[in-house]
Amino acid sequence: MSAPAPALAAAPAARPALDLQAILKDALLFALVTFGLCVPVVAYRTDLSSTSALDLTPRWGLVAILCGLVFLARLAQRLILASRDARRALTPSPRQATEAVDATPNAAQSVSRFGLPLFLGVALTFPLLAALGTGGLSESRYWIDLGILILTYVMLGWGLNIVVGLAGLLDLGYVAFYAVGAYSYALLSTTFGLSFWICLPLAGLFAALWGMILGFPVLRLRGDYLAIVTLAFGEIIRLVLINWSDFSGGAAGISSIPRITFFGLPFTADEDGFAASLGIPFSPMHRVVFLYYLILVLALITNLVTLRLRRLPIGRAWEALREDEIACRSLGINTTNTKLTAFALGAMFGGFAGSFFAVRQSFVSPESFNFLESAIILAIVVLGGMGSQIGVAIAAVAMVGGPELLRNLDFLKPVFGEHFDPNEYRLLLFGLAMVVMMIWRPRGLISERSPSVVLKERKAISGSLVKEGHG
Amino acid sequence: MSASPRLADPVLSVDHLTMRFGGLVAVNDLSFRVGRGDITGLIGPNGAGKTTVFNCITGFYKPTEGMMTLRHRDGAEYLLERLPGFQVNRRARVARTFQNIRLFTGMTVLENLLVAQHNPLMLASGYTLAGLVGLPGFRRAQGAAVEKAVAWLTRINLLHRADDPAGDLPYGDQRRLEIARAMCTDPVLLCLDEPAAGLNPRESAQLNDLLRSIRDDDDTSVLLIEHDMSVVMEISDHVVVLDYGTKIADGTPAEVQSDQSVIAAYLGVEDEEVEAVEAEVGV
């Protein structure tokens, strides 16, 4: 009867062995392909010689270095993946188990436990931290401006997350609503002299209205068709703003838009200015810090409303719509109205962000609302993980803050030479980051979905079960 | 009169229903009744047009011709062919399930049942405004909705999986959950498209019990498409047989089982008969 025991004991030792030969072969193949690509592109450089003829400068050393780098990178990738697979084969997946397995906290849980308070704390004290870090409020202007920029994109990402992440409607023209909000404030304040605090809700309402106007004819389309039409809508708004000069000032835009006031107190050095009223010395930084906290509050409102809506029937209907539109219809849900509310609400938050943009810049022009903006906002939502609020915030910091970091890499100049400008590599790195994300986390940084209502125990829902929506 | 006496008070009357897709006549001049409190089976060989009939009744197709009248107990009448898709469930209170299960796989079992109660909850949340500020009326409504969902989960033995994603459930449980989800919309008529497909004999027996309890305890009439004859013949009060979009038989299970045209449709006819017919028409 003791015969099976050795077999059982041997079982764990039978872990899949690393197939080194295959991995080496694969890496060599990669190096060979790189070599093939390098020969026509890198191997010879054409220089103008002193006699103004073309000289060929061979650069076989560089080719060898590139091939070697690709070989090593592929080798490392395969080895890491192989050891990960071997590890996974030994630990049962909680999803396949029939009884309870000790599940390690997943990405969403661990991020929200430590990340959330940290994130909020940094966001709330950011101007102070920046001032301390740079040694003075005026010196920290660059950092606070960057913070404002990032928070604007966080807010736009959260607004678009309602449309794309929750309702599953692919909207490539979100920047149109941002433009509607910005021009609403610009026109209302320069024409009628209305203050920002009146224009802010109005801008949101106008954007929501345009969301509905676009929504009615468009929402019977699905998937690719919806994406194309929203893309066209975004372009139409921009072209109208460029060409309708009497209304919008054309390509020159609208300048000298009134600046933000502290609920009526202007940020000026005058007698009735903000600083004089409080009896503190005037500093132009007061306005910047106020703008920072304004966009922080706006973004947090967007977040809180979205989180609240998710728990209400309307939010659940959005997510159901993303999962299966036909089933929704069979359950008596008016799918057109449900999509329309998602579109209008998403547009409204875009409008708020737009009017903030206008008051901050005190200048708007159609150039600010091109397709690239829409693409960046959509990339933030997709990279963050569709539907995940914290994921979108992290993605916004990375997407907007990352390129700014490149400007500060001057210390690399001694390494790469005096002509090295890291900013030129921005799009290259951006593309590289996208490819890495596609391999590492195809469903976004945080792909787990947290249920909107819980009976006994909150369990995160694996991203592989959650659908992305199709229209 | 051997047919079910409940046919005198039909919950649904289908009259002269015709559905054409281009040149193809999927359903041809079909008339039948679904008695209130009956389980009515709709059977027929593959391609007979059963699912097309379902899609017409539940508002997914607009029929080419014909009339479908749904009567509530209080006398209200709805012409289903005139209602927009979602109103068939919302106002006429006809619920359905699908041949290929359509659950919200990325949402939990409980959430699936709450989505089904969307319309009453929307009303209670004051079309979101009252819910957004968290008025007590909405909280009560939400609590009641969860209670109703829990009651249904207890009935289908899935309470222990309430917080699991619906996509993680085994196939048989998904079938039962889809029925519970449809029932959470308080239907007067429940249309089931092959509810026993892919179930093992034990699950199939459980399903029979569930359908009987829906008929007897919930004031809901059931119309089901089914290929599994053990289900249809055992629980149906009334069976309608379709072949090539036309009704070929209509009666109690026993009557239908002995009907010559039904046997011919399912099993085919003898070779001599075919030859006799061919000789008649001169092929």
Task: Report the distance separating Cα A15 and Cα A327, nearest Å.
Answer: 44
Q: What is the nearest CA distance from A362 to chain B, expressed in angstroms?
A: 34
Q: What pLDDT, on a 0 to 100 scale, did the predictor assign at position A4?
A: 44
Task: Report the distance separating Cα A262 and Cα A210, nearest Å.
Answer: 30
Q: Which domains does chain B have, with CATH numbers?
A: 1-93+188-277 (3.40.50.300), 102-185 (no CATH)
Q: Same domain for A54 and A134?
A: no
Q: What pLDDT, on a 0 to 100 scale, did the predictor assign at position B179?
A: 93
Choose one of A347, A371, A388: the last residue of a domain.
A388
Is B86–A333 a contact, with Cβ atoms under 8 angstroms apart? yes
Per-residue pLDDT for A7 more than 50? no
B155 φ, ψ (degrees, to nearest 5) = -65, -35
Q: Same domain for A172 and A284?
A: yes
Q: What pLDDT, on a 0 to 100 scale, did the predictor assign at position A18?
A: 65
Note the pLDDT tens digit of each residue in B112-142: 999 999 988 888 877 777 777 777 778 888 8
Q: Same domain for A169 and A299?
A: yes
Chain B residues with CB-CB distance to A326 below 8 A: 60, 98, 102
Q: What pLDDT, on a 0 to 100 scale, did the predictor assign at position A246?
A: 86
What is the DSSP pairing of strand A363-364 with strand B10-21? Answer: unpaired
Note the pLDDT tens digit of each residue in A215-239: 888 877 777 888 898 999 999 999 9
Note the pLDDT tens digit of each residue in A145-160: 999 999 999 999 999 9
Is B85–A319 a contact, with Cβ atoms under 8 angstroms apart? no
Residue from the list A317, A320, A455 with its beta carbon closest to the beta carbon of B110? A455
Per-residue pLDDT for B76 more than 90? no
Is B86–A457 a contact, with Cβ atoms under 8 angstroms apart? no
Report the CATH number that the domain containing residue A221 is assigned in CATH. 1.10.3470
Task: Report the distance separating Cα A218 and Cα A212, nearest Å.
Answer: 10
> Of residues A53 and B61, which shows the higher confidence score?
B61
Q: Are A57 and A21 in contact (CB under 8 A)?
A: no
Q: How confident is the model at residue A470 (pLDDT cuts 50, 70, 90)?
A: low
Choose one of A360, A388, A416: the last residue of a domain.
A388
Q: Which domain holds residue A32?
A: 18-90
Q: What is the nearest CA distance from A121 to chain B, expressed in angstroms?
A: 26
Task: Report the distance separating Cα A40 and Cα B4, nearest Å.
Answer: 84
Residue A452 resides in a domain: no
Residue A458 resides in a domain: no
Chain A residues with CB-CB distance to B167 below 8 A: 465
Per-residue pLDDT for A12 more than 50? no
Q: Same domain for A121 and A66?
A: no
Q: Could you give the number of structural domains in chain A?
A: 2
Residue A54 tokens read as: 């073309």
Residue A337 burial (CB < 10 Å; 0-12/13-18/19+)?
middle
Q: What is the nearest CA distance from A96 to chain B, expressed in angstroms?
A: 9
Residue A379 resides in a domain: yes
What is the ipTM metric for this complex? 0.88
Q: Same domain for A157 and A210?
A: yes
Note the pLDDT tens digit of each residue in A103-143: 455 555 566 667 778 888 888 888 888 888 887 777 888 88
Residue from the list A319, A324, A341 with its beta carbon closest to the beta carbon of B102? A324
Q: What does the pLDDT average to over B39-58?
A: 89
Residue A386 tokens read as: 């569709």
Nearest C-alpha neighbor of B162 from the set B140, B181, B138: B181
Per-residue pLDDT for A6 more than 50? no
Is B163–A319 a contact, with Cβ atoms under 8 angstroms apart? no
Per-residue pLDDT for B149 more than 90? yes
Choose one of A356, A388, A420: the last residue of a domain.
A388
Q: Same domain for A313 and A351?
A: yes
Q: What does the pLDDT average to over A316-338?
A: 91
Is A314–B128 a contact, with Cβ atoms under 8 angstroms apart? yes
- Alpha helices in A135-244, H assignment, sequence order: 141-160, 175-192, 196-218, 223-243
Chain A residues with CB-CB distance to B122 below 8 A: 313-314, 317
Q: Same domain for A149 and A298?
A: yes
Task: Report the distance separating Cα A253 and Cα A195, nearest Å.
Answer: 20
Q: How confident is the model at residue B176 (pLDDT cuts 50, 70, 90)?
A: very high
Residue A106 tokens read as: 């997943």
> CB of A329 within 8 Å of any CB in chain B?
yes
> CB of A229 within 8 Å of any CB in chain B?
no
Q: What pLDDT, on a 0 to 100 scale, did the predictor assign at position A106?
A: 55
Q: Same domain for A198 and A129?
A: yes
Chain A residues with CB-CB distance to B192 below 8 A: none
Note the pLDDT tens digit of each residue in A423-468: 777 778 778 888 888 888 888 888 788 888 888 877 778 777 887 7
Q: What is the nearest CA distance from A16 to chain B, expressed in angstroms?
A: 28
Q: What pLDDT, on a 0 to 100 scale, did the predictor assign at position A306?
A: 92
Q: Are A43 and A58 in contact (CB under 8 A)?
A: yes
Q: What pLDDT, on a 0 to 100 scale, did the predictor assign at position B94?
A: 92
Nearest C-alpha neighbor of A230 from the set A248, A244, A213: A213
Q: What pLDDT, on a 0 to 100 scale, did the predictor assign at position A433?
A: 81
> CB of A106 within 8 Å of any CB in chain B?
no
Which residue of chain B is at minimal alpha-carbon distance from A95?
A: B168
Q: Same domain for A248 and A202?
A: yes
